[in-house]
Structure 1
Amino acid sequence: MIQVQNLDFSYSKKSQLFSQLNWESRTGNIIGMLGKNGAGKSSFLRILAGLLFPNSGQVSVLGFSPEQRNQTFLSEVFFVPDENFLPGYLPAERYQQILQPFYPRFDSEIFTRLLDRFEVDSQEKIKNLSFGQQKKVGLAMALSSGCALILLDEPTNGLDISSKSAFRKELISVLSEDQTVVIATHLIRDLENTLDRVMILDQGQIKLDADLSDLADSLHFGVSQSEVSGAIYSQSSALGVQFIQERTTQAQTVVNLELLFEGVTSGVPIASFLSKTNSLTA
């Protein structure tokens, strides 16, 4: 679905953001792209959407070069930026009616149900909605679009706790097996129990790219009252010492995404402890 080869990208008069970056993705995954603020998450999504152009290298999405903005490509990719992109003078229902013809598999029934689930008044002009409600309209559009690739930039930013929970549930229930979602976020806890795969972007490179199932098979996550011998990574917390170990005979544990992220961005070579057949590294 996505192939990125030797990607170089920089903004004018700024230092290089990506250098010789490589990445690929298959169909049918919910992928979390994690990174600190300024790591380039939003820029990477915009390159995939064809809104920013590489300085060099090749990017292929659904067999198309995004920067060419082919009509078929545009009908199969839906991008929701972090900032509001909706026309304020229209109510959500009218905006959906205008946009729907551009997406062949758009499901208006799902859109109506999602707005109801998100408690958004479809008849109210978008400019009169709060930032969080406007974000919900954009997410409802994306999840109703039927697009093969959905790109979400900080989708839970501005949502309250109940709305975040509703978003996670709807994301899982609405998607079909032939759809792929890439979610860029620094709010790691908001993605728990949602992702199939995690990609960590740091210092212009992809430091880890692996399925959650492979991480759970290969690594043991735990908490101890003291330092653990042989830990790959550990840090103190209010609960004690949180740690990551290579899994041998231990029972499988839930992947602690926050601890994993801290370990990877601290320079720990987590990828070297994963199954070579199931993990993808840059």
Structure 2
Amino acid sequence: MINLSNLTFCYGSKPPVLQDLSLYLEPGRIYGLLGSNGAGKSSLMRLMAGLLYPTDGQIRVNNHEPRRREPAFLEDIFFLPEEVDTPAMTLDRYVATMSVFYPKFSDDQFRQQLKAFQLPATINKLADLSLGQRKKVLISFGLATNTSVLLMDEPTNGLDIPSKSQFRKVVSAALADDRLILISTHQVRDLDSLIDSVVVLNDHELLLNAPLERVSQRLRFELLGRDVPADVLYAEPSLRGNAVVLENLDPADDTPIDLERLFNAAISNPQRMKSLFSAPKP
């Protein structure tokens, strides 16, 4: 469980990166954290991990205050940053060194995920791996920690197309009723068919926090001809007409969600989007 209450964060005297942000995330879900570059996604994740401290407001992660970095907090959260570095040691040495900090770490699970990513079980020098290979090792390790909170910042950067597909498979398989997975990305399509809830940040504030089933009840994603209704939330031209996002007037009749169009609708029509969705309360 992650609960943010009226959170504001600034770097020194600079304008707020996040302002008056309230957000509740529950276990048993894979959240996609979407936002443009500079929207505050990485800062938010670092605040949740206790690597940055709020300027104002409160954060609670599994009833812990992250900034205190208590052992019970640290052993049950794993944060994979966007920029990854690996030491000049063997894979086995790395696992032996790092796994002791995570009581629920599964070596069998880790090895299975390495195999799924087509990585060898023996690696002599982690520092010599490519960016994509390092990402695969750390994604596999993070999933195998079995922490109740898993935060991944732009995890698919550096992965090729087949690896992105495998990423979606291993992450979805790692979800449990008592686990919360939050994935930040600006490559929206990398999360297709993976997430079941979406969080959208823009211009220092929260625009949307909703399960996808609720999104499909409130919005329609359609392809129309040249005539676009005046009340459309978002429209973009395509080879076959206009791809649009509309308010759904019949919740029983839903359409497949297009995450990229959903994100564009949120940032181009923020006030109307916020009026359609109210943040879930703890």
Give the TM-score range, shorter chain: over 0.9
Report the TM-score, using the length of structure 2 for normalisation. 0.94
Structure-to-structure mapping, 1:162-241, within 5 angstroms? 162-229=162-229, 230-241=231-242
Give the 3-state SS of the residue equivalent to 2:221 in structure 1: strand
- Residue in 1 aligned with 2:157? 157
- Alpha-carbon shift at residue 153 of structure 1 (Å): 0.2
Read off the aligned partner of 2:188 and give its amino acid letter.
I
- Alpha-carbon shift at residue 142 of structure 1 (Å): 0.8
Give the 3-state SS of the residue equivalent to 1:16 in structure 2: coil
Give the 3-state SS of the residue equivalent to 2:73 in structure 1: helix
C-alpha contact (below 8 Å) 2:7/2:20 kept by paired residues: yes
- Residue in 1 aligned with 2:114? 115
Is there any run of 5+ residues in structure 1 with no aligned partner, and where?
none
Q: Which of residues 267, 271, 276 in structure 2 aligns to 1:273? A: 276
C-alpha contact (below 8 Å) 2:28/2:180 kept by paired residues: yes
CA distance in 1, matches of 2:196, 2:37: 23
Read off the aligned partner of 2:71 and give its amino acid letter.
Q
1:79-135 CA-partner distances (Å, limit 9, x unpaired)? 000111322x11223211221121111111010011111122342211111100000
Structure-to-structure mapping, 1:57-206, within 5 angstroms? 57-87=57-87, 89-124=88-123, 125-206=125-206
C-alpha contact (below 8 Å) 1:198/1:210 kept by paired residues: yes
CA distance in 1, matches of 2:23, 2:193: 23
TM-aligned CA distance change 1:12 to 1:239, over 3 Å: farther
CA distance in 2, matches of 1:271, 1:32: 18
CA distance in 1, matches of 2:129, 2:256: 37
CA distance in 1, matches of 2:137, 2:174: 15
- Alpha-carbon shift at residue 233 of structure 1 (Å): 2.2
Give the 3-state SS of the residue equivalent to 1:52 in structure 2: coil
- Alpha-carbon shift at residue 13 of structure 1 (Å): 4.1
C-alpha contact (below 8 Å) 1:4/1:58 kept by paired residues: yes
C-alpha contact (below 8 Å) 1:91/1:122 kept by paired residues: no
C-alpha contact (below 8 Å) 1:143/1:175 kept by paired residues: no
- Alpha-carbon shift at residue 239 of structure 1 (Å): 3.7
C-alpha contact (below 8 Å) 1:3/1:60 kept by paired residues: yes
Read off the aligned partner of 1:259 and give its amino acid letter.
R
TM-aligned CA distance change 1:267 to 1:247, over 3 Å: closer
- Residue in 2 aligned with 1:35? 35
Which stretch of the first structure deviates more once superposed, 121-130 or 52-61? Answer: 121-130
CA distance in 1, matches of 2:92, 2:166: 20
Read off the aligned partner of 1:265 and give its amino acid letter.
I
Give the 3-state SS of the residue equivalent to 1:181 in structure 2: strand
Give the 3-state SS of the residue equivalent to 2:17 in structure 1: strand
- Residue in 1 aligned with 2:54? 54
Is there any run of 5+ residues in structure 2 with no aligned partner, and where?
none
CA distance in 1, matches of 2:18, 2:232: 31
- Alpha-carbon shift at residue 244 of structure 1 (Å): 1.2
CA distance in 1, matches of 2:102, 2:85: 18
1:194-218 CA-partner distances (Å, limit 9, x unpaired)? 1111000001100111110001122
CA distance in 1, matches of 2:177, 2:55: 33
Which stretch of the first structure deviates more once superposed, 71-80 or 7-16? Answer: 7-16
Give the 3-state SS of the residue equivalent to 2:178 in structure 1: coil
Q: RMSD value over aligned CA atoms? A: 1.6
- Residue in 2 aligned with 1:23? 23
